[in-house]
Structure 1
Protein backbone atom coordinates (compact mmCIF):
# COMPACT_ATOMS: atom_id res chain seq x y z
CA UNK A 1 0.00 0.00 0.00
CA UNK A 2 1.22 3.48 -0.92
CA UNK A 3 0.32 5.96 1.81
CA UNK A 4 -0.29 9.60 0.96
CA UNK A 5 -1.08 11.21 4.32
CA UNK A 6 0.31 10.87 7.84
CA UNK A 7 -1.62 12.44 10.72
CA UNK A 8 0.16 12.64 14.05
CA UNK A 9 -0.81 13.74 17.52
CA UNK A 10 1.68 15.91 19.44
CA UNK A 11 1.89 15.35 23.21
CA UNK A 12 2.79 11.78 24.06
CA UNK A 13 3.28 11.00 20.37
CA UNK A 14 5.38 13.36 18.25
CA UNK A 15 6.85 15.08 21.32
CA UNK A 16 8.97 13.51 24.02
CA UNK A 17 7.90 13.74 27.67
CA UNK A 18 9.85 17.00 28.08
CA UNK A 19 7.83 18.47 25.15
CA UNK A 20 10.88 18.41 22.85
CA UNK A 21 10.54 17.60 19.15
CA UNK A 22 13.42 15.20 18.60
CA UNK A 23 15.89 15.41 15.72
CA UNK A 24 14.99 11.82 14.82
CA UNK A 25 11.31 12.65 14.39
CA UNK A 26 12.03 15.86 12.44
CA UNK A 27 14.29 14.04 9.98
CA UNK A 28 11.82 11.18 9.57
CA UNK A 29 8.92 13.55 8.82
CA UNK A 30 11.08 15.35 6.26
CA UNK A 31 11.82 12.01 4.55
CA UNK A 32 8.10 11.20 4.49
CA UNK A 33 7.41 14.61 3.00
CA UNK A 34 10.10 14.08 0.35
CA UNK A 35 8.43 10.89 -0.90
CA UNK A 36 5.09 12.65 -1.25
CA UNK A 37 3.34 11.98 2.05
CA UNK A 38 1.27 14.92 3.33
CA UNK A 39 1.84 15.61 7.03
CA UNK A 40 -1.05 16.66 9.29
CA UNK A 41 -0.47 17.74 12.88
CA UNK A 42 -3.56 16.82 14.93
CA UNK A 43 -3.60 18.12 18.49
CA UNK A 44 -5.81 19.24 21.32
CA UNK A 45 -3.58 22.28 21.74
CA UNK A 46 -4.52 25.77 20.54
CA UNK A 47 -2.60 27.02 17.51
CA UNK A 48 -0.42 29.51 19.40
CA UNK A 49 1.35 26.65 21.21
CA UNK A 50 1.80 24.66 17.99
CA UNK A 51 3.50 27.38 15.91
CA UNK A 52 6.97 27.06 17.52
CA UNK A 53 7.04 23.36 16.62
CA UNK A 54 5.98 24.06 13.03
CA UNK A 55 8.97 26.39 12.73
CA UNK A 56 11.27 23.62 13.96
CA UNK A 57 9.86 21.18 11.40
CA UNK A 58 10.89 23.57 8.65
CA UNK A 59 8.13 22.68 6.16
CA UNK A 60 4.47 23.57 5.64
CA UNK A 61 1.81 21.12 6.77
CA UNK A 62 -1.88 20.92 7.58
CA UNK A 63 -2.73 21.61 11.21
CA UNK A 64 -5.74 20.46 13.21
CA UNK A 65 -6.07 22.07 16.65
CA UNK A 66 -8.61 22.08 19.49
CA UNK A 67 -9.08 18.31 19.01
CA UNK A 68 -10.57 18.71 15.54
CA UNK A 69 -12.56 21.93 15.94
CA UNK A 70 -10.12 24.13 13.98
CA UNK A 71 -8.42 23.23 10.68
CA UNK A 72 -5.65 25.26 9.02
CA UNK A 73 -4.19 24.60 5.60
CA UNK A 74 -0.49 24.49 4.75
CA UNK A 75 -0.39 28.29 4.45
CA UNK A 76 -1.75 28.63 7.99
CA UNK A 77 -5.13 29.88 6.82
CA UNK A 78 -8.19 28.75 8.77
CA UNK A 79 -10.48 26.73 6.52
CA UNK A 80 -12.88 25.36 9.13
CA UNK A 81 -14.00 26.15 12.68
CA UNK A 82 -16.67 24.17 14.48
CA UNK A 83 -18.05 25.96 17.53
CA UNK A 84 -20.08 24.35 20.27
CA UNK A 85 -23.77 25.02 19.82
CA UNK A 86 -24.95 27.88 22.05
CA UNK A 87 -27.34 25.74 24.10
CA UNK A 88 -24.67 23.10 24.70
CA UNK A 89 -22.10 25.74 25.67
CA UNK A 90 -24.50 27.46 28.06
CA UNK A 91 -25.47 24.19 29.73
CA UNK A 92 -21.87 22.99 30.06
CA UNK A 93 -20.66 26.30 31.54
CA UNK A 94 -23.56 26.27 34.01
CA UNK A 95 -22.56 22.79 35.18
CA UNK A 96 -18.90 23.79 35.51
CA UNK A 97 -19.74 26.92 37.48
CA UNK A 98 -21.37 24.68 40.07
CA UNK A 99 -18.01 22.95 40.63
CA UNK A 100 -14.73 24.11 42.16
CA UNK A 101 -12.58 23.11 39.21
CA UNK A 102 -10.13 24.71 36.79
CA UNK A 103 -11.34 25.11 33.22
CA UNK A 104 -10.70 27.35 30.24
CA UNK A 105 -12.48 27.94 26.96
CA UNK A 106 -10.77 28.33 23.58
CA UNK A 107 -11.79 29.52 20.15
CA UNK A 108 -9.53 29.72 17.08
CA UNK A 109 -7.68 32.75 18.47
CA UNK A 110 -8.09 33.23 22.23
CA UNK A 111 -8.04 31.30 25.49
CA UNK A 112 -10.74 32.59 27.84
CA UNK A 113 -10.04 32.27 31.57
CA UNK A 114 -11.81 33.26 34.76
CA UNK A 115 -8.71 33.68 36.94
CA UNK A 116 -5.32 35.05 35.90
CA UNK A 117 -3.69 33.52 38.97
CA UNK A 118 -5.10 30.05 38.22
CA UNK A 119 -4.03 30.29 34.59
CA UNK A 120 -0.48 31.31 35.53
CA UNK A 121 -0.31 28.35 37.91
CA UNK A 122 -1.55 26.04 35.13
CA UNK A 123 1.00 27.37 32.62
CA UNK A 124 3.81 27.14 35.18
CA UNK A 125 3.08 23.47 35.85
CA UNK A 126 2.98 22.80 32.11
CA UNK A 127 6.33 24.55 31.55
CA UNK A 128 7.91 22.56 34.38
CA UNK A 129 7.30 19.39 32.34
CA UNK A 130 9.90 20.72 29.90
CA UNK A 131 13.62 21.27 30.40
CA UNK A 132 13.04 24.86 31.57
CA UNK A 133 14.31 25.59 35.08
CA UNK A 134 11.96 26.32 37.99
CA UNK A 135 12.90 29.99 38.19
CA UNK A 136 12.57 30.51 34.45
CA UNK A 137 9.11 28.93 34.62
CA UNK A 138 8.20 31.34 37.43
CA UNK A 139 9.09 34.26 35.14
CA UNK A 140 7.81 32.81 31.86
CA UNK A 141 4.30 31.80 32.98
CA UNK A 142 3.09 35.36 33.84
CA UNK A 143 4.57 36.68 30.59
CA UNK A 144 2.67 34.08 28.54
CA UNK A 145 -0.64 34.91 30.22
CA UNK A 146 -0.28 38.70 30.49
CA UNK A 147 1.84 39.71 27.50
CA UNK A 148 1.39 37.25 24.65
CA UNK A 149 -2.04 38.64 23.77
CA UNK A 150 -4.04 35.44 23.38
CA UNK A 151 -5.63 35.33 26.87
CA UNK A 152 -8.85 37.07 27.90
CA UNK A 153 -10.23 37.12 31.44
CA UNK A 154 -14.01 36.80 31.42
CA UNK A 155 -17.02 36.11 33.59
CA UNK A 156 -18.25 32.95 31.94
CA UNK A 157 -21.94 33.51 32.71
CA UNK A 158 -21.71 36.89 30.96
CA UNK A 159 -19.53 35.37 28.22
CA UNK A 160 -22.31 32.96 27.30
CA UNK A 161 -25.11 35.55 27.53
CA UNK A 162 -23.18 37.92 25.28
CA UNK A 163 -22.81 35.33 22.53
CA UNK A 164 -19.30 34.08 23.29
CA UNK A 165 -18.20 31.14 21.15
CA UNK A 166 -16.17 28.10 22.09
CA UNK A 167 -14.29 25.64 19.91
CA UNK A 168 -13.35 23.60 22.99
CA UNK A 169 -13.49 23.53 26.78
CA UNK A 170 -10.58 22.09 28.78
CA UNK A 171 -11.25 20.89 32.36
CA UNK A 172 -8.43 19.94 34.72
CA UNK A 173 -8.47 18.13 38.05
CA UNK A 174 -5.97 15.90 39.82
CA UNK A 175 -8.91 14.26 41.65
CA UNK A 176 -10.12 11.32 39.58
CA UNK A 177 -13.45 11.10 41.41
CA UNK A 178 -14.18 14.77 40.76
CA UNK A 179 -13.46 14.37 37.05
CA UNK A 180 -15.73 11.35 36.82
CA UNK A 181 -18.51 13.22 38.62
CA UNK A 182 -18.19 16.18 36.25
CA UNK A 183 -18.04 13.92 33.21
CA UNK A 184 -21.27 12.16 34.21
CA UNK A 185 -23.01 15.52 34.51
CA UNK A 186 -21.72 16.81 31.18
CA UNK A 187 -22.60 13.58 29.37
CA UNK A 188 -26.25 14.61 29.67
CA UNK A 189 -25.66 17.69 27.50
CA UNK A 190 -26.78 17.17 23.90
CA UNK A 191 -24.69 17.70 20.75
CA UNK A 192 -21.26 17.48 22.36
CA UNK A 193 -18.23 15.21 22.22
CA UNK A 194 -16.34 14.45 25.43
CA UNK A 195 -12.77 13.25 25.21
CA UNK A 196 -9.48 13.37 27.09
CA UNK A 197 -5.79 13.93 26.37
CA UNK A 198 -4.62 12.74 29.78
CA UNK A 199 -5.65 11.11 33.04
CA UNK A 200 -6.27 14.49 34.70
CA UNK A 201 -8.46 16.24 32.14
CA UNK A 202 -11.72 16.26 30.21
CA UNK A 203 -12.20 18.11 26.93
CA UNK A 204 -15.60 19.13 25.58
CA UNK A 205 -16.35 20.01 21.94
CA UNK A 206 -19.21 20.01 19.47
CA UNK A 207 -20.32 16.54 18.43
CA UNK A 208 -18.97 17.18 14.91
CA UNK A 209 -15.55 18.33 16.14
CA UNK A 210 -13.26 15.31 16.43
CA UNK A 211 -9.81 14.56 15.04
CA UNK A 212 -11.30 11.81 12.89
CA UNK A 213 -13.86 14.10 11.25
CA UNK A 214 -11.23 16.79 10.71
CA UNK A 215 -8.99 14.22 9.04
CA UNK A 216 -11.87 13.15 6.82
CA UNK A 217 -12.41 16.76 5.74
CA UNK A 218 -8.76 17.22 4.85
CA UNK A 219 -8.56 13.93 2.96
CA UNK A 220 -11.61 14.91 0.89
CA UNK A 221 -10.09 18.31 0.11
CA UNK A 222 -6.83 16.85 -1.17
CA UNK A 223 -8.36 13.71 -2.72
CA UNK A 224 -6.72 11.13 -0.49
CA UNK A 225 -8.57 7.88 0.09
CA UNK A 226 -9.22 6.58 3.58
CA UNK A 227 -7.01 3.53 3.00
CA UNK A 228 -4.10 5.83 2.02
CA UNK A 229 -4.07 7.49 5.45
CA UNK A 230 -1.92 6.72 8.51
CA UNK A 231 -2.98 8.19 11.85
CA UNK A 232 -0.95 7.83 15.05
CA UNK A 233 -1.64 8.82 18.64
CA UNK A 234 -1.54 7.81 22.26
CA UNK A 235 -4.69 8.99 24.02
CA UNK A 236 -8.48 8.89 23.90
CA UNK A 237 -8.76 12.06 21.83
CA UNK A 238 -6.80 10.23 19.09
CA UNK A 239 -9.20 7.30 18.85
CA UNK A 240 -11.46 8.81 16.20
CA UNK A 241 -8.63 9.43 13.73
CA UNK A 242 -6.96 6.08 14.44
CA UNK A 243 -10.27 4.35 13.74
CA UNK A 244 -10.84 6.42 10.58
CA UNK A 245 -7.41 5.88 8.99
CA UNK A 246 -6.50 2.99 6.75
CA UNK A 247 -3.58 2.31 9.08
CA UNK A 248 -4.31 3.27 12.67
CA UNK A 249 -1.15 3.33 14.79
CA UNK A 250 -0.84 3.52 18.57
CA UNK A 251 2.18 4.57 20.55
CA UNK A 252 3.56 1.88 22.84
CA UNK A 253 3.03 4.37 25.70
CA UNK A 254 -0.60 4.85 24.65
CA UNK A 255 -3.76 4.16 26.60
CA UNK A 256 -5.04 0.57 26.54
CA UNK A 257 -8.14 1.50 24.49
CA UNK A 258 -5.96 3.17 21.86
CA UNK A 259 -3.60 0.21 21.56
CA UNK A 260 -6.54 -2.17 21.24
CA UNK A 261 -8.13 -0.04 18.49
CA UNK A 262 -4.93 0.29 16.44
CA UNK A 263 -3.76 -1.85 13.53
CA UNK A 264 -0.12 -1.49 14.54
CA UNK A 265 1.90 -0.30 17.55
CA UNK A 266 5.09 1.73 17.22
CA UNK A 267 7.69 2.43 19.90
CA UNK A 268 7.18 4.98 22.68
CA UNK A 269 7.44 8.75 22.29
CA UNK A 270 10.70 8.58 24.25
CA UNK A 271 12.02 6.16 21.62
CA UNK A 272 11.05 8.41 18.67
CA UNK A 273 8.01 6.32 17.75
CA UNK A 274 7.13 8.52 14.76
CA UNK A 275 10.57 7.95 13.24
CA UNK A 276 10.22 4.21 13.86
CA UNK A 277 6.82 4.22 12.15
CA UNK A 278 8.08 6.10 9.10
CA UNK A 279 11.10 3.78 8.78
CA UNK A 280 8.71 0.82 8.89
CA UNK A 281 6.40 2.33 6.24
CA UNK A 282 9.28 3.20 3.92
CA UNK A 283 10.73 -0.30 4.29
CA UNK A 284 7.34 -1.86 3.49
CA UNK A 285 6.92 0.30 0.38
CA UNK A 286 10.45 -0.52 -0.79
CA UNK A 287 9.70 -4.22 -0.35
CA UNK A 288 6.47 -3.89 -2.35
CA UNK A 289 8.39 -2.23 -5.22
CA UNK A 290 10.99 -5.04 -5.27
CA UNK A 291 8.29 -7.75 -5.22
CA UNK A 292 6.25 -6.12 -7.98
Structure 2
Protein backbone atom coordinates (compact mmCIF):
# COMPACT_ATOMS: atom_id res chain seq x y z
CA UNK A 1 0.00 0.00 0.00
CA UNK A 2 1.27 3.47 -0.88
CA UNK A 3 0.47 5.52 2.20
CA UNK A 4 0.07 9.27 1.89
CA UNK A 5 -0.43 10.41 5.49
CA UNK A 6 1.09 9.36 8.81
CA UNK A 7 -0.76 10.63 11.89
CA UNK A 8 1.00 10.21 15.22
CA UNK A 9 0.11 10.91 18.82
CA UNK A 10 2.76 12.53 21.03
CA UNK A 11 2.82 11.45 24.70
CA UNK A 12 3.42 7.72 25.05
CA UNK A 13 3.89 7.43 21.28
CA UNK A 14 6.27 9.84 19.56
CA UNK A 15 7.80 11.00 22.85
CA UNK A 16 9.87 9.05 25.34
CA UNK A 17 8.62 8.70 28.92
CA UNK A 18 10.70 11.73 29.90
CA UNK A 19 8.83 13.75 27.23
CA UNK A 20 11.83 13.99 24.93
CA UNK A 21 12.04 13.31 21.20
CA UNK A 22 14.51 10.59 20.36
CA UNK A 23 16.86 11.14 17.45
CA UNK A 24 15.70 7.80 16.02
CA UNK A 25 12.11 9.04 15.79
CA UNK A 26 13.15 12.43 14.41
CA UNK A 27 15.20 10.77 11.67
CA UNK A 28 12.35 8.36 10.91
CA UNK A 29 9.84 11.17 10.40
CA UNK A 30 12.28 13.05 8.21
CA UNK A 31 12.61 9.95 6.02
CA UNK A 32 8.82 9.83 5.79
CA UNK A 33 8.81 13.47 4.60
CA UNK A 34 11.42 12.61 1.96
CA UNK A 35 8.94 10.11 0.53
CA UNK A 36 6.39 12.97 0.11
CA UNK A 37 4.13 11.47 2.76
CA UNK A 38 2.23 14.03 4.82
CA UNK A 39 2.72 13.99 8.61
CA UNK A 40 0.12 15.05 11.15
CA UNK A 41 0.92 15.47 14.84
CA UNK A 42 -2.31 14.58 16.70
CA UNK A 43 -2.29 15.35 20.40
CA UNK A 44 -4.40 16.33 23.37
CA UNK A 45 -1.90 19.08 24.12
CA UNK A 46 -2.53 22.76 23.35
CA UNK A 47 -0.49 24.20 20.50
CA UNK A 48 1.93 26.19 22.66
CA UNK A 49 3.23 22.98 24.27
CA UNK A 50 3.70 21.38 20.84
CA UNK A 51 5.71 24.22 19.30
CA UNK A 52 9.06 23.35 20.95
CA UNK A 53 8.86 19.86 19.44
CA UNK A 54 7.97 21.26 16.02
CA UNK A 55 11.11 23.40 16.14
CA UNK A 56 13.10 20.30 17.03
CA UNK A 57 11.64 18.34 14.12
CA UNK A 58 12.46 21.29 11.85
CA UNK A 59 10.09 20.40 9.02
CA UNK A 60 6.54 21.41 8.24
CA UNK A 61 3.65 19.17 9.24
CA UNK A 62 -0.05 19.35 10.00
CA UNK A 63 -0.96 19.72 13.66
CA UNK A 64 -4.17 18.56 15.35
CA UNK A 65 -4.34 19.72 18.97
CA UNK A 66 -6.76 19.59 21.91
CA UNK A 67 -7.72 16.02 20.94
CA UNK A 68 -9.04 17.08 17.56
CA UNK A 69 -10.66 20.41 18.42
CA UNK A 70 -8.11 22.54 16.54
CA UNK A 71 -6.46 21.83 13.19
CA UNK A 72 -3.51 23.88 11.93
CA UNK A 73 -1.89 23.79 8.52
CA UNK A 74 1.80 23.25 7.88
CA UNK A 75 2.48 26.94 8.49
CA UNK A 76 0.77 26.86 11.87
CA UNK A 77 -2.34 28.72 10.72
CA UNK A 78 -5.68 27.62 12.17
CA UNK A 79 -7.99 26.06 9.58
CA UNK A 80 -10.60 24.58 11.90
CA UNK A 81 -11.81 25.05 15.48
CA UNK A 82 -14.62 23.15 17.20
CA UNK A 83 -15.79 24.58 20.50
CA UNK A 84 -17.75 22.83 23.20
CA UNK A 85 -21.41 23.81 23.18
CA UNK A 86 -22.13 26.50 25.77
CA UNK A 87 -24.67 24.51 27.78
CA UNK A 88 -22.45 21.41 27.84
CA UNK A 89 -19.48 23.50 28.97
CA UNK A 90 -21.55 25.11 31.71
CA UNK A 91 -22.73 21.73 33.05
CA UNK A 92 -19.21 20.31 32.99
CA UNK A 93 -17.84 23.27 34.94
CA UNK A 94 -20.62 22.95 37.52
CA UNK A 95 -19.70 19.29 38.09
CA UNK A 96 -15.99 20.06 38.40
CA UNK A 97 -16.53 23.00 40.75
CA UNK A 98 -18.55 20.76 43.07
CA UNK A 99 -15.81 18.13 43.04
CA UNK A 100 -13.03 20.62 43.90
CA UNK A 101 -10.57 18.94 41.56
CA UNK A 102 -7.77 20.39 39.44
CA UNK A 103 -8.78 21.25 35.88
CA UNK A 104 -7.94 23.75 33.22
CA UNK A 105 -9.79 24.87 30.12
CA UNK A 106 -8.28 25.62 26.74
CA UNK A 107 -9.26 27.35 23.53
CA UNK A 108 -7.21 27.77 20.36
CA UNK A 109 -5.04 30.48 21.99
CA UNK A 110 -4.96 30.21 25.77
CA UNK A 111 -5.07 27.87 28.74
CA UNK A 112 -7.39 29.15 31.46
CA UNK A 113 -6.51 28.41 35.09
CA UNK A 114 -8.16 29.07 38.47
CA UNK A 115 -5.04 30.28 40.25
CA UNK A 116 -1.31 30.35 39.71
CA UNK A 117 -0.28 28.25 42.71
CA UNK A 118 -2.55 25.37 41.70
CA UNK A 119 -1.12 25.50 38.20
CA UNK A 120 2.46 25.54 39.49
CA UNK A 121 1.80 22.43 41.59
CA UNK A 122 0.31 20.63 38.61
CA UNK A 123 3.17 21.55 36.28
CA UNK A 124 5.74 20.59 38.90
CA UNK A 125 4.35 17.03 38.89
CA UNK A 126 4.44 16.89 35.10
CA UNK A 127 7.95 18.31 34.79
CA UNK A 128 9.27 16.09 37.57
CA UNK A 129 8.35 13.09 35.38
CA UNK A 130 10.83 14.27 32.76
CA UNK A 131 13.78 13.36 35.01
CA UNK A 132 14.20 16.92 36.22
CA UNK A 133 15.34 17.34 39.81
CA UNK A 134 12.77 18.32 42.44
CA UNK A 135 13.95 21.93 42.68
CA UNK A 136 14.43 22.33 38.93
CA UNK A 137 10.83 21.16 38.45
CA UNK A 138 9.64 23.82 40.93
CA UNK A 139 11.70 26.54 39.27
CA UNK A 140 10.54 25.69 35.74
CA UNK A 141 6.92 25.50 36.89
CA UNK A 142 7.13 28.93 38.50
CA UNK A 143 8.82 30.44 35.46
CA UNK A 144 6.22 29.02 33.05
CA UNK A 145 3.21 30.20 35.06
CA UNK A 146 4.62 33.64 35.83
CA UNK A 147 6.04 34.51 32.41
CA UNK A 148 4.19 32.42 29.81
CA UNK A 149 1.57 34.65 28.18
CA UNK A 150 -0.49 31.63 27.08
CA UNK A 151 -2.07 31.34 30.56
CA UNK A 152 -5.07 33.35 31.70
CA UNK A 153 -6.39 33.39 35.27
CA UNK A 154 -10.20 33.29 35.33
CA UNK A 155 -13.18 32.70 37.57
CA UNK A 156 -14.59 29.44 36.24
CA UNK A 157 -17.97 30.06 37.88
CA UNK A 158 -18.52 32.95 35.46
CA UNK A 159 -16.64 31.47 32.50
CA UNK A 160 -19.66 30.82 30.28
CA UNK A 161 -21.49 33.95 31.42
CA UNK A 162 -18.56 35.94 30.07
CA UNK A 163 -19.11 34.33 26.65
CA UNK A 164 -15.80 32.51 26.66
CA UNK A 165 -15.31 29.54 24.33
CA UNK A 166 -13.55 26.27 25.12
CA UNK A 167 -12.13 23.60 22.88
CA UNK A 168 -11.56 21.16 25.74
CA UNK A 169 -11.27 20.63 29.49
CA UNK A 170 -8.36 18.75 31.08
CA UNK A 171 -8.96 17.23 34.53
CA UNK A 172 -6.20 15.79 36.71
CA UNK A 173 -6.16 13.73 39.89
CA UNK A 174 -4.11 10.92 41.36
CA UNK A 175 -7.32 9.60 42.94
CA UNK A 176 -8.53 7.18 40.26
CA UNK A 177 -11.81 6.48 42.08
CA UNK A 178 -12.63 10.18 42.09
CA UNK A 179 -11.80 10.42 38.39
CA UNK A 180 -14.05 7.49 37.56
CA UNK A 181 -16.94 9.02 39.50
CA UNK A 182 -16.47 12.34 37.72
CA UNK A 183 -16.20 10.61 34.35
CA UNK A 184 -19.56 8.92 34.88
CA UNK A 185 -21.17 12.28 35.64
CA UNK A 186 -19.58 14.00 32.65
CA UNK A 187 -20.65 11.23 30.27
CA UNK A 188 -24.28 12.09 31.00
CA UNK A 189 -23.85 15.54 29.46
CA UNK A 190 -25.31 15.72 25.97
CA UNK A 191 -22.94 16.58 23.16
CA UNK A 192 -19.57 15.84 24.76
CA UNK A 193 -16.87 13.25 24.24
CA UNK A 194 -15.14 12.10 27.43
CA UNK A 195 -11.77 10.44 27.01
CA UNK A 196 -8.30 10.29 28.61
CA UNK A 197 -4.62 10.24 27.74
CA UNK A 198 -3.52 8.58 30.98
CA UNK A 199 -4.77 6.95 34.16
CA UNK A 200 -4.59 10.24 36.07
CA UNK A 201 -6.65 12.44 33.75
CA UNK A 202 -9.93 12.98 31.96
CA UNK A 203 -10.36 15.09 28.85
CA UNK A 204 -13.69 16.58 27.74
CA UNK A 205 -14.46 18.04 24.32
CA UNK A 206 -17.29 18.37 21.84
CA UNK A 207 -18.36 15.04 20.38
CA UNK A 208 -17.60 16.32 16.87
CA UNK A 209 -14.00 17.09 17.81
CA UNK A 210 -12.27 13.73 18.27
CA UNK A 211 -8.91 12.91 16.73
CA UNK A 212 -10.62 10.51 14.35
CA UNK A 213 -13.11 13.07 13.02
CA UNK A 214 -10.41 15.70 12.65
CA UNK A 215 -8.20 13.23 10.80
CA UNK A 216 -11.14 12.47 8.51
CA UNK A 217 -11.57 16.19 7.86
CA UNK A 218 -7.87 16.60 7.11
CA UNK A 219 -7.98 13.62 4.73
CA UNK A 220 -10.82 15.23 2.76
CA UNK A 221 -8.88 18.49 2.58
CA UNK A 222 -5.83 16.64 1.21
CA UNK A 223 -7.92 14.39 -1.04
CA UNK A 224 -6.55 11.30 0.70
CA UNK A 225 -8.61 8.16 1.31
CA UNK A 226 -8.72 6.49 4.72
CA UNK A 227 -6.92 3.46 3.22
CA UNK A 228 -3.93 5.71 2.53
CA UNK A 229 -3.60 6.76 6.19
CA UNK A 230 -1.55 5.30 9.04
CA UNK A 231 -2.54 6.44 12.54
CA UNK A 232 -0.57 5.48 15.63
CA UNK A 233 -1.20 6.02 19.33
CA UNK A 234 -1.27 4.50 22.79
CA UNK A 235 -4.27 5.75 24.75
CA UNK A 236 -8.05 6.07 24.75
CA UNK A 237 -8.01 9.48 23.06
CA UNK A 238 -6.22 7.83 20.11
CA UNK A 239 -8.85 5.15 19.55
CA UNK A 240 -10.99 7.15 17.13
CA UNK A 241 -8.14 7.85 14.73
CA UNK A 242 -6.75 4.31 14.99
CA UNK A 243 -10.20 2.96 14.12
CA UNK A 244 -10.61 5.44 11.24
CA UNK A 245 -7.25 4.98 9.52
CA UNK A 246 -6.61 2.36 6.87
CA UNK A 247 -3.83 1.05 9.10
CA UNK A 248 -4.42 1.67 12.79
CA UNK A 249 -1.25 1.09 14.81
CA UNK A 250 -0.94 0.71 18.56
CA UNK A 251 2.22 1.20 20.55
CA UNK A 252 3.25 -1.92 22.46
CA UNK A 253 2.80 0.15 25.64
CA UNK A 254 -0.79 1.06 24.67
CA UNK A 255 -3.91 0.50 26.75
CA UNK A 256 -5.53 -2.92 26.30
CA UNK A 257 -8.53 -1.54 24.39
CA UNK A 258 -6.23 0.28 21.98
CA UNK A 259 -4.20 -2.87 21.39
CA UNK A 260 -7.38 -4.81 20.70
CA UNK A 261 -8.61 -2.29 18.11
CA UNK A 262 -5.32 -1.87 16.25
CA UNK A 263 -4.44 -3.52 12.94
CA UNK A 264 -0.79 -3.73 13.88
CA UNK A 265 1.40 -3.22 16.94
CA UNK A 266 4.76 -1.48 16.90
CA UNK A 267 7.38 -1.34 19.65
CA UNK A 268 7.05 0.80 22.78
CA UNK A 269 7.75 4.52 22.89
CA UNK A 270 10.90 3.78 24.88
CA UNK A 271 12.01 1.47 22.04
CA UNK A 272 11.46 4.19 19.39
CA UNK A 273 8.26 2.60 18.11
CA UNK A 274 7.73 5.28 15.45
CA UNK A 275 11.10 4.50 13.90
CA UNK A 276 10.23 0.79 13.95
CA UNK A 277 6.88 1.49 12.27
CA UNK A 278 8.51 3.52 9.52
CA UNK A 279 11.13 0.87 8.81
CA UNK A 280 8.70 -2.06 8.82
CA UNK A 281 5.65 -0.55 7.12
CA UNK A 282 6.62 2.48 5.06
CA UNK A 283 10.16 1.65 3.97
CA UNK A 284 9.87 -2.13 3.57
CA UNK A 285 6.18 -2.76 2.82
CA UNK A 286 6.69 -6.21 1.31
CA UNK A 287 8.23 -7.69 4.44
CA UNK A 288 6.32 -9.24 7.31
CA UNK A 289 4.40 -6.89 9.59
CA UNK A 290 5.06 -9.00 12.67
CA UNK A 291 7.22 -7.68 15.49
Fold equivalence (TM over 0.5): yes
- Structure 1 residue 281, shift from structure 2 partner: 1.4
In structure 1, the residue matched to 2:253 is 253
String of CA shifts for 1:115-167, please: whole Å, max 9, x gaps.
21110011111111113322222111111111110111111111111111110
In structure 1, the residue matched to 2:102 is 102
- Structure 1 residue 287, shift from structure 2 partner: 6.1
In structure 2, the residue matched to 1:62 is 62
Partner of 1:105, secondary structure, is: strand
- Structure 1: 5+ residue runs without aligned partners? none
In structure 2, the residue matched to 1:279 is 279
In structure 2, the residue matched to 1:121 is 121
Bigger CA drift: 113-122 or 270-279? 113-122
- Structure 1 residue 286, shift from structure 2 partner: 5.9
- Structure 1 residue 284, shift from structure 2 partner: 3.5
- The 5 A counterparts of 1:17-36 are 17-36=17-36
In structure 2, the residue matched to 1:37 is 37
In structure 2, the residue matched to 1:133 is 133
String of CA shifts for 1:179-222, please: whole Å, max 9, x gaps.
11111111111000000000011100001010001101111111
Paired residues of 2:280 and 2:287 also in contact (CA < 8 A):
no
Partner of 1:285, secondary structure, is: coil
Q: For 2:134 and 2:98, how far apart are their aligned partners in 1?
A: 33
In structure 2, the residue matched to 1:168 is 168
Q: For 1:243 and 1:259, how far apart are their aligned partners in 2?
A: 11
In structure 2, the residue matched to 1:227 is 227
Counting matched residue pairs gives 288
Q: For 2:165 and 2:110, how far apart are their aligned partners in 1?
A: 10
String of CA shifts for 1:210-245, please: whole Å, max 9, x gaps.
000110111111111100000000000000000000
Bigger CA drift: 132-141 or 79-88? 132-141
Q: For 1:123 and 1:175, how far apart are their aligned partners in 2?
A: 17
In structure 1, the residue matched to 2:83 is 83
Partner of 1:89, secondary structure, is: helix
Q: For 1:155 and 1:89, how far apart are their aligned partners in 2?
A: 14
Coordinate RMSD, CA, aligned: 1.2
In structure 1, the residue matched to 2:204 is 204
- Structure 2: 5+ residue runs without aligned partners? none
Matched, 1:155 2:155: yes
In structure 1, the residue matched to 2:13 is 13
Q: For 1:4 and 1:217, how far apart are their aligned partners in 2?
A: 15
In structure 1, the residue matched to 2:51 is 51
